[in-house]
A = this chain, B = another copy of it.
Amino acid sequence: MTKTSAGNFFEDFRLGQTIRHATPRTITGGDVALYTALFGGRFAVQSSAAFAKAIGYPDWPVDDLLVFHIVFGKTVPDVSLNAVANLGYAGMQFLAPVFPGDTISASSDVIGLKENSNRKTGIVYVRTRGVKQDGTTVLEYVRWVMVRKRNEAAPAPGERVPRLPTVVEPKLLGTACPPINVKAYDFALAGSLHRFGDYQVGEKIDHVDGITVEEAEHQTATRLYQNTARIHFDQFSAAQGRFGRRLIYGGHVISLARALSFNGLANAFHIAAINGGRHVAPLFAGATVFAWSEVLAKSEVPGRDDVGALRLRTVATKDRPCADFPDKAGEEYDPSVLLDLDCWALAPRRA
């Protein structure tokens, strides 16, 4: 019997099973600096402890997406080492802020299983939670992936397709954001005068800038998250695969798009929820990523007059500036599109 883990195959999962993932991870100012160096984000709350504390945070919050990537990374060895495809996310809620010094671990419940008709693969639905050292849940989301069977003849381990929300309800937003003292929110320092009230549903924003991705950069980022999916790191094996080269972690595109979105959304300082996301096309090193966003909806956050929620659709492209908002026609995407992400971000309201 081997001591080496080959990951789980479709028939290894069980409905109702809870998987506790290795490895706990203490996040420090080192991770914050590296994340800045990898993506160049400029949101004031995540860049400045002084700014964050002035507006009401008890301490300097770690970027929401860094927390997500670290939690996601932990699930890879157990959930998606034998994945054929990452199919989607739903109901991702950021539930509590994470501060430097916090240690994050993760577990996943298997909430759905569905064998494919070819009997070679099946879809696994997991609800993953990231938890702090004190037991606080900081992040929760559902993810579904298509996983290979080890043995095609094995019986399906169960069948249930969970009902998933297409959008996180506004009443669930904002628990990771303390009450904000908007009078202390310095809009010049934050980089924009535009508040929640200044955005209109249907408004589209070109984020203008582009960032070219190098192999060393996406590998460094993805290792920072202790994500072990070999397709991101192993050129020897990738050379023999479908693409012939290393595939960049989809989350890298999400973080690039978020960093670019500062230009136009500087005060959308906190991602409160991700409603869903689609990795439309793969990204490889050498390409330049651009992005644009559309305001899909606006909502009050029940019980709060400090912040409002913008539902943003952010589209990232490769080698294609976004002044004309490359999009999809029906189900057919513009060939430049990499990512189509739907999230709720919080922005300060007029005091």
Using a CB–CB cutoff of 8 Å, the interface residues on chain A facing chain B are 2-6, 20, 22-26, 28-34, 36-44, 47-51, 60, 77, 100-101, 103, 105, 133, 188-192, 194, 198-199, 205-212, 214-217, 219-224, 226, 228, 230, 233-237, 246, 263-266, 286-288, 290, 319, 321
Say whether B38 contacts A25, CB under 8 Å.
no
Closest to A234 in B: B210
Return A19 CB to nearest CB of chain B, in Å: 9
Return A29 CB to nearest CB of chain B, in Å: 3
Say whether A51 contacts B103, CB under 8 Å.
yes
Say whether A220 contacts B189, CB under 8 Å.
no
Q: A189-B23, A216-B214 are in contact. Are A103 and B319 (CB under 8 A)?
A: no
Say whether A224 contacts B20, CB under 8 Å.
no
Say whether A33 contacts B216, CB under 8 Å.
no
Note all chain B residues with C-beta closer than 8 A to A215: 212, 214, 216
Q: A30-B30, A33-B34 are in contact. Are A234 and B211 (CB under 8 A)?
A: yes
CB-defined A-B contacts under 8 Å, sample of 6: A20-B188, A26-B47, A26-B60, A34-B34, A211-B219, A212-B233
Q: State which of B23, B194, B198, B221 has its C-beta within 8 Å of the C-beta of A42.
A: B23
Say whether A22 contacts B216, CB under 8 Å.
no
In the complex, A212→B206 CA distance in Å? 35
In the complex, A339→B300 CA distance in Å? 54
Say whether B234 contacts A3, CB under 8 Å.
no
Closest to A323 in B: B4
Return A310 CB to nearest CB of chain B, in Å: 12
Q: State which of B4, B24, B219, B221 has its C-beta within 8 Å of the C-beta of A206.
A: B4
